[in-house]
Amino acid sequence: LDQLDQLDQLNENIDSSYLAHLSLNEQLKNFQNCIWRRSKAKVKVGLSGGVDSSVSAYLLQRQGYDVTGIYMRNWDLREENYQCSTTQDEIDAEKICKQLGIKFETVDFVKEYWVKVFETTLKGYQNGITPNPDILCNKWIKFGVLLDHVKNQSNIDFIATGHYARIKFEKNANNDDDDNYKIKLL
């Protein structure tokens, strides 16, 4: 937590737009609902067990949000014969939540990950391309299945992750198109 406090001092340099939600109108509506019911906005933070998502949870908590950490179990280790970091990642995510004094939950997206990410990656390899499973996971699982899971919980106002971006739209050299394609997967 001391390291997190040090990171908080650098907060001025961090773009704090961690709230990855559907639209500005929905964010405004959720914020107004929080004011109306005079309670803290409730945020679920997708925790990987790593630094970025842990800092997101910490900063949101420091800003007064009611934060719950949510870990996505995307791989079934029962049939594996090698060491995989997912078990340690889940332990680390839960440990961060305990240190911050926030709620923790695990959701099981093994089936969704298998179909949307793993099988797609294997098919890509068979067809001579090399898809990036991390990008597929971001698109289909984190900003797909997880977002849908959280949206179906009526008492949650926002979802956040450790992902961050500064988005700047510029015209290309021909000034006939912008660079929207660079962020299309988000």
Q: Tell which wins on pLDDT, 92 or 165.
A: 92
Q: What is the mean pLDDT of the chain?
A: 76
Nearby residues of 105 by Cβ (< 8 Å), 6 or more positions away: 68, 69, 70, 71
168: left (phi over 0), alpha (psi -120 to 50) or beta: beta
Nearby residues of 41 by Cβ (< 8 Å), 6 or more positions away: 30, 31, 34, 65, 66, 157, 158
3-12, 22-31, 58-67, 141-150: the lowest-pLDDT one: 3-12
Measuring CA to CA, which residue among 154, 162, 132, 145 is closest to residue 72? 145
Query: What distance lies between CA 170 and its chain's CA centroid?
Result: 26
d(CA 21, CA 28): 11
d(CA 52, CA 58): 10
Q: Tell which wins on pLDDT, 39 or 137.
A: 137
Please give the model's pTM, rounded to 2 decimal places: 0.69
Nearby residues of 89 by Cβ (< 8 Å), 6 or more positions away: 48, 49, 50, 71
